[in-house]
Structure 1
Amino acid sequence: MSSNDPFARLPEATAFTVVSTTVADGAPWSIEQYSGLSGVPGGKDLSPHLSWSGAPEGTKSYAVTVYDPDAPTGSGFWHWAVADIPATVTELPTGAGDDTGSGLPEGALQLPNDARAARFIGAAPPAGHGPHRYFTVVHALDVESIGVPADATPAALGFTMAGHILGRAVLTATAETLA
């Protein structure tokens, strides 16, 4: 597991709170949040429930990202990216990140993850690779729309958001596939 902080080189942002009924900060993902595509029994690729509060004044929209910096790729692995969540929305239900984005609010844009699927893809660390960290982040933005195209990568979203982030709420989960 890498000790690198994926936020160390990003601009400072006001902290606010994100909680979940499906995972606690620092705890392992539930089996439903593992990837069924990786052959993990019970893995269902269900995006976690998220609820946030205390975003900074001036927030006009949110983006949500899920990132594994410990993936053996040299660049980590983006599991989910959603942009243009209206400022009036402060909760996403479990499974909001399905193939159709059925649990996302109108106007929200679900971008392709590193598997090139515009949906949430669950944890799938290589067997025996050790524990991985999954940073689920709600970004409070100073614009109503971040203006990325529907086929943008999560990294491109992050680059575009960099100058618009007012606040950041982080929930870190873990996952490990035993050998």
Structure 2
Amino acid sequence: MKLEVRGIEEGQPIPEKFAFGVYSEEDHMSFGPNRNPEIVWEGAPEGTKSFAIIMFDPDVPSVADDVNQEGKTVSKDLERVDFFHWLLVDIPANISRIPEGEDSDGVIPKGKEPGPGPIGIRGVNNYTQFLAGNPDMNGTYAGYDGPCPPWNDEIIHHYHFEVHALDVDTLALEGEFDGNDVREAMAGHVLASARVTGTYTLNPDLR
């Protein structure tokens, strides 16, 4: 299979229009346009009955104590974990493109609803946990929400966009399912996959 994420080249920085947070000289970060990029795929094998899309960042600090704290840095030596940014499942087999801005166009405080979206079924991304302590922003975040790594992180973050061709019409996921639920449900059903990786940072020393 071949995947194209339009506007994002393999191994290159992700444009700000796709980001949840953009660099701000005054207060480190401000909200970005948060548009999902257009993605197009081809070459799905015979027997494909649906597609799933996963976008995740494997470079997120496992401990958030120093995240975005003045006078502190998030050490490059800290253990890192996956942070899911986009989960779409049960995409019909006759679909091979998601237009830019179709699943997200702007930051929506308190998030977007999980369940049926413009294309496929939206799962819950990890902004749900990350913003849980912010009274202005806490809520359930589903579908696409773009990069916003800690502005004091010593490493550049990587964002993997993946499309998976599946041998089932549906993963039978309901409610507020997350990235781990999607991975478990896909196990044994993936016929082919493709990935494009972009990078992003809000640390002015790394930009």
> What one-letter code is carried by the residue in structure 2 that aligns with 1:165?
V
**Hey, what does 1:3 align to over in structure 2?**
none
Structure 1 length-normalised TM: 0.82
User: In the TM superposition, what whole-angstrom CA distance separates every residue of 1:119-159 from its partner, at most 9, and x where no partner exists?
Assistant: 21111111242211100000100001111113111111111
Q: Does 1:29 find its partner at 2:14?
A: yes
Spell out the pairing of 1:137-148 with structure 2 (5 A cutoff).
137-148=162-173
Distance 1:92 1:81 in 2: 13
Q: Does 1:20 find its partner at 2:5?
A: yes
Gaps of 5+ in 2: 63-79, 105-111, 129-140
> What one-letter code is carried by the residue in structure 1 that aligns with 2:118?
L
Gaps of 5+ in 1: 1-15
**Hey, what does 2:196 align to over in structure 1?**
171
* Equivalent position to 1:111, from 112, 115, 123: 123
Q: CA offset at residue 112 of structure 1?
A: 0.9
Q: Does 1:154 find its partner at 2:179?
A: yes
Structure 1 residues 115 and 49 mapped into 2: Cα distance closer, same or farther (>3 Å)?
A: same
Secondary structure at the counterpart of residue 70 of structure 1: strand
Distance 2:174 2:146 in 1: 23
Superposition RMSD in Å: 2.2
**Hey, what does 1:58 align to over in structure 2?**
47
**Range with bigger deviation, 124-133 or 57-66:** 124-133
Q: Percent identity?
A: 31
* Preserved contact between residue 56 and residue 160 of structure 2 (Cα < 8 Å): yes
Distance 1:57 1:72 in 2: 40
Q: CA offset at residue 23 of structure 1?
A: 1.1
Structure 2 length-normalised TM: 0.72
Q: CA offset at residue 27 of structure 1?
A: 1.4
Between the two proteins, the alignment pairs up a number of residues equal to 162
Q: CA offset at residue 41 of structure 1?
A: 4.5
Secondary structure at the counterpart of residue 156 of structure 1: helix
Q: CA offset at residue 56 of structure 1?
A: 1.3
**Range with bigger deviation, 159-168 or 70-79:** 70-79
Distance 2:92 2:50 in 1: 5
User: In the TM superposition, what whole-angstrom CA distance separates every residue of 1:82-121 from its partner, at most 9, and x where no partner exists?
Assistant: 000000000001122224799833xx10111011201211
Larger Rg: 2
Distance 2:172 2:202 in 1: 37
Distance 1:62 1:139 in 2: 5
